[in-house]
Amino acid sequence: MSLAISPGERRTAHQLVRDTLRRAILTGQMSGGQRLVQADLAKQLDVSTTPVREALRDLSAEGLIQLDAHRGAIVRTLSHDEVEEVYWLREILEPEMMERAVVNITDEQVELAESLQKKAEEESDPAAWVELNKAFHRVFNEASQSPRLAAIVENLQDAGTAYVVASLVAGTRRPDETNTQHREILQAVRARDAAKARNMMREHLHETLIRVPDFST
């Protein structure tokens, strides 16, 4: 397997390795169950093993790989039971956080969310779109001013990332559908309509879940 270096501005070796591996996983170049050998990755990317080790820790925290004491780093295998639990929890917690976000959000944060959404609407690369999608949701995590809740939600969002990509790859979910829902959420946020934003976020999450492909087939 030959890894394509993830495009981007000047980055540290750690960031370059992390971005490249993340892109390979999100686009399906690396499949579930595949072992990631630090020495092999370091040779392919022309770096030492230190930034590879740091990148693997980051990807483990994002839920894209598993770190096994005996087998090393392994790309996660997707499970329908897991995604149902992740989105069940998100549908409980994220609408509450969105309501708090609407109450506390600043004009600057609204502008940031709008800027990220505009970029997402112009993005054709799946991996880059997923990163913009995560950044969009992260604005509301921070705006909620509820650090513990935001940390839990962000962990669930990271766990759901691979499933969002799986939906895009399978064609069961299209970026333009999500972009439309994000624009509607933004309209409610701009109007400072907390109840509407809360309900729309719940509907958005439920719609995402039912579009996830069935991994048992």
In this predicted model, what pLDDT tens digit does every residue of 142-169 receive, in sequence order? 999 999 999 999 999 988 887 887 787 7
pLDDT reported for residue 5: 62
DSSP label of 75 = E
The mean of the pLDDT values for the chain is 88
- Owner of token pair 């701009």: 190
pLDDT reported for residue 4: 58
Q: Pick from 96, 110, 125: which is nearest to 182 by CA?
A: 110
Please count the helices (runs of H) and the strands (runs of E) in the chain: 9, 3
In the predicted model, residues of the chain with pLDDT beneath 50 are none
Is residue 80 within a helix (H) or strand (E), and if so which, with residue range? helix 80-104
| 88-94, long-range: CB < 8 A, 24+ apart | 89/156, 90/153, 90/156, 90/157, 90/160, 90/205, 91/202, 91/205, 91/206, 91/209, 93/149, 93/152, 93/153, 93/156, 94/153, 94/156, 94/201, 94/202, 94/205
User: CA 196 to CA 17: how far, in whole Å?
Assistant: 41
pTM comes to 0.75
pLDDT reported for residue 178: 92
Which domains are present in the chain? Answer: 13-75 (1.10.10.10), 80-210 (1.20.120.530)
Query: Which are the contacts of 35, defined by CB distance < 8 A and separation ≥ 6?
Result: 71, 72, 73, 74
